[in-house]
Amino acid sequence: MKSICIYLCNLWLVLLLAALSALAQKPPGPSSPLYGARTAETGSPSTGLPAALRDVRIEQKLDQQLPLDLVFRDENGQAVKLGQYFGQKPVVLAFVYYDCPMLCTQVLNGMVTSFRVLPFQLGKEYEVVTVSFDPRETSALATRKKKVYVDYLPEKMRPEAASGWHFLTGDQENIAKLTDAAGFRYNWDDATKQFAHASGIMVTTPQGKLSRYFYGVEYAARDLRLGLIESSANKIGSPVDQLLLYCYHYDPASGTYGAPVMKIMRIAGVITVLAIVAMLFTLKRRKPIGGVA
């Protein structure tokens, strides 16, 4: 009984800390229309951007089915249907172009940093599909890019990652259909001879439906972990993950998981009552010193 009391107290402290963290945290969220910010009155994209950035954004299309019959080329130059990477596991989807001088590299760096610490094995419990939206890029370039990022993973992760992280290239038609379905909007900028694009990744269900969007160039391992669990319909993860999912909920507006403070406090309240009852029960059963009743 004493161990139960200690466990309940520890759990209460964890929940209390989570609630305090949620209270202290500023509400996250993309402040730029690059991430699909829309005006409440018209529902149209925010204005005031340079010409090169007009219509450049990530527009959430939650539950949208990706067109899995599209054909691309993998890093080995083989023609592949997008659907062959779906069907069994949740998929992390990212749009980059491999010759990007800055932002795409940061996106890939953010992805691999999260993959390194996730409790799930890339290639075993989830797949990753990286698609170049530059139709001029070749499979040879995709091969070099894949090697860089697979080699950045811990050595024990590399064999599974090599078969589970796919770097695709394609023609303009297939690229346009896929990026449109995912809500990824980008433009070519003649002035800089580069693509103007937003940064972020998506998580899909095994069936290829868009489930979660994560913005920016850094992806919290906790958020990606919970997104993969929910996208897999809870087929991966542990009982601890289920408790986390009860405490944290995905916010589409910010693309993050947050903790509803009141729910945490209610749980903490119940645990407090249980701890008090357990303590009283323990004290009642304890024999008085010297055996005197």
- Mean pLDDT within 255-260: 73
CA end-to-end span of the chain: 22
Whether residue 137 has pLDDT greater than 80: yes
State residue 130's pLDDT score. 98
Polymer length of the chain:
293
Spell out the domains of the chain, with CATH numbers in brackets.
Answer: 2-25+261-291 (no CATH), 34-254 (3.40.30.10)
DSSP track, 123-136: TTTBEEEEEE--TT
């990706």: which residue's tokens?
A: 66
Range from 66-70, 185-189, 281-285 that averages highest in pLDDT: 66-70
Q: Across the strands, what pairs with 256?
A: 251
Question: What is the token pair recorded at 78?
Answer: 């083989």
State residue 37's pLDDT score. 38
Whether residue 107 has pLDDT greater than 80: yes
Kindly report the average pLDDT of the chain as a whole number. Answer: 80
State residue 155's pLDDT score. 95
- Mean pLDDT within 165-180: 98
pLDDT digits (tens, 9 = 90+) for 213-231: 999 999 999 999 999 999 9
């947050």: which residue's tokens?
A: 258
- Mean pLDDT within 241-247: 65
Identify the band that residue 13 occupies on the pLDDT scale cut at 50, 70 and 90: very low
Identify the band that residue 54 occupies on the pLDDT scale cut at 50, 70 and 90: confident
Q: Among positive and negative, which fits the CA dihedral 152, 221, 45, 50?
A: negative
- Mean pLDDT within 156-181: 97
Is the whole-model pTM more than 0.75? Answer: no
State residue 238's pLDDT score. 66
- Classify residue 101 by burial, with Cβ atoms within 10 Å: 0-12, 13-18, 19+: exposed
Rounded (10°) CA dihedral 131, 134, 140, 142: -30
Lowest mean pLDDT among 3-12, 169-178, 213-222, 276-285: 3-12
Q: Across the strands, what pairs with 250?
A: 257
pLDDT digits (tens, 9 = 90+) for 76-99: 999 999 999 999 999 999 999 999
Q: Across the strands, what pairs with 167?
A: 130
Residue 165's nearest CA partner among 137, 212, 201 is 201
Q: What percent of the chain has pLDDT over 90?
A: 57
Whether residue 42 has pLDDT greater than 50: no
State residue 214's pLDDT score. 96
State residue 250's pLDDT score. 81
Whether residue 181 has pLDDT greater than 60: yes
Contact present, 259 and 19 (Cβ < 8 Å) = yes
- Mean pLDDT within 125-152: 97
